[in-house]
């Protein structure tokens, strides 16, 4: 059994990690880390875990946990892992970090967009960006995984095949994305109160959202061309889900059949990417609670543009599910273990 520790186990992503790992046949959670609930029974924080999890919450002592766990998931705010990371910890265990601390290769970009000093930039180069469908081989030998963000996972996978094949003009890419409120975390914030969110939709982080450079960096690697995008996220009154609608000009004339063949080529062997049938648009309700990414596209010959669409559950494929998928790859397990989740409906 793989011994697993979770720091930040009582946040939304941490709670989803617990849900997924309790159903994992080859993993055992040995540490439910939560600085806010030390010594409180985990099932008293999340009552859905009553008679499922008997353990109490522990602190965030990474040094002690590293000696007990084969892998540590850090579902923590930006800056936490960077502030405690050491070679001693990494020599004892593997780490899958759900924050942005090691996603960006240029530390100055991280510090600019996140507004904090990076405390351990010496580990940035080693960290593997854990987008499984793109970096699977690198994940296999990694000690430190930078688990991608939710908006970024959806946005990158939706455009990746066409960026890689040079079909789209990367200078014209616009991403319009919608997210449920769980993407903002479990902490109490005025903008996320029910009366503030219900019966409303709003853009936020316009031209300044922190996932922008992450999307740009990864699509630059894919296309081989410096990519600068317009990325506009929106908050919608639902618990879970991300829908990304992406627009780009075509570099040349093409057909539906050619584009569909490209997507199928890249994703036909991927267990968690579903390329939908013609004219079927992705919807968040059909991926809820699952590790699936639903993708499709529409050619607009009138404007010489393509509209690419993707949908995920932000807490599963956008966070905890992808983290478990990374763990499975790192330890040579069947990639779908613990993740064979049929989407929930209604």
d(CA 46, CA 67): 27
Q: How many helices (H) and strands (E) does the chain have?
A: 12, 13
Query: Tokens representing 295?
Result: 């993708």
* 150 a catalytic residue: yes
Element (H, E) at 246: strand 242-249
Q: Are strands 27-33 and 71-74 parallel, antiparallel or unpaired?
A: unpaired
Beta bridge partners of 249: 305
Closest CA to 229 of 163, 179, 167, 292: 163
User: Do residues 236 and 203 lie in contact, with contact meaning Cβ atoms separated by under 8 Å?
Assistant: no
Closest CA to 55 of 174, 68, 219, 324: 68
**Which distant-in-sequence residues (6+ apart) come within 8 Å of 259 by Cβ?**
162, 167, 297, 299, 306
User: Do residues 51 and 43 lie in contact, with contact meaning Cβ atoms separated by under 8 Å?
Assistant: yes
Catalytically annotated residue among 132, 150, 154, 281: 150
Active-site positions read 150
């Amino acid at each position: 059994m793989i011994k697993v520790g979770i720091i930040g186990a009582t946040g939304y992503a941490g709670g989803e990690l617990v849900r997924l790992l309790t159903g994992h046949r080859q993993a055992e959670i040995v540490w439910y880390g939560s600085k806010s609930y030390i010594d409180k029974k985990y099932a008293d924080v999340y009552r859905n875990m009553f008679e499922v999890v008997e353990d109490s919450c522990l602190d965030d002592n990474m040094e002690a946990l590293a000696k007990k766990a084969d892998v540590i998931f850090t579902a923590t705010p930006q800056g936490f892992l960077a502030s405690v990371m050491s070679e001693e910890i990494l020599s004892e265990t593997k780490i899958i970090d759900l924050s942005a601390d090691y996603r960006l290769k240029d530390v100055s970009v991280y510090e600019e967009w996140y507004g904090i000093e990076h405390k351990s930039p010496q580990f940035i180069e080693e960290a593997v960006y854990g987008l499984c469908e793109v970096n699977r081989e690198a994940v296999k030998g990694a000690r430190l995984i930078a688990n991608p963000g939710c908006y970024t996972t959806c946005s990158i996978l939706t455009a990746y095949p066409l960026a890689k094949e040079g079909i789209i003009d990367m200078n014209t890419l616009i991403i319009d994305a919608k997210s449920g409120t769980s993407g903002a975390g479990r902490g109490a914030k005025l903008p996320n109160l029910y009366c503030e969110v219900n019966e409303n939709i709003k853009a936020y982080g316009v031209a300044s959202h922190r996932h922008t450079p992450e999307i740009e960096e990864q699509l630059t690697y894919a296309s081989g061309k410096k990519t600068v995008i317009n990325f506009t996220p929106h908050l919608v009154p639902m618990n879970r889900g991300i829908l990304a609608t992406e627009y780009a000009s075509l570099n040349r004339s093409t057909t539906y059949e050619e584009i569909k063949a490209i997507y199928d080529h890249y994703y036909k062997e991927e267990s968690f990417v579903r390329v939908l049938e013609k004219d079927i648009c992705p919807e968040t309700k059909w991926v809820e609670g699952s590790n699936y990414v639903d993708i499709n596209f529409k050619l607009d010959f009138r404007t010489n543009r393509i509209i690419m669409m993707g949908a995920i559950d932000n807490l599963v494929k956008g966070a905890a599910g992808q983290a478990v998928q990374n763990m499975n790859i790192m330890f040579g397990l069947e990639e779908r273990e613990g993740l064979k989740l049929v989407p929930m409906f209604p």
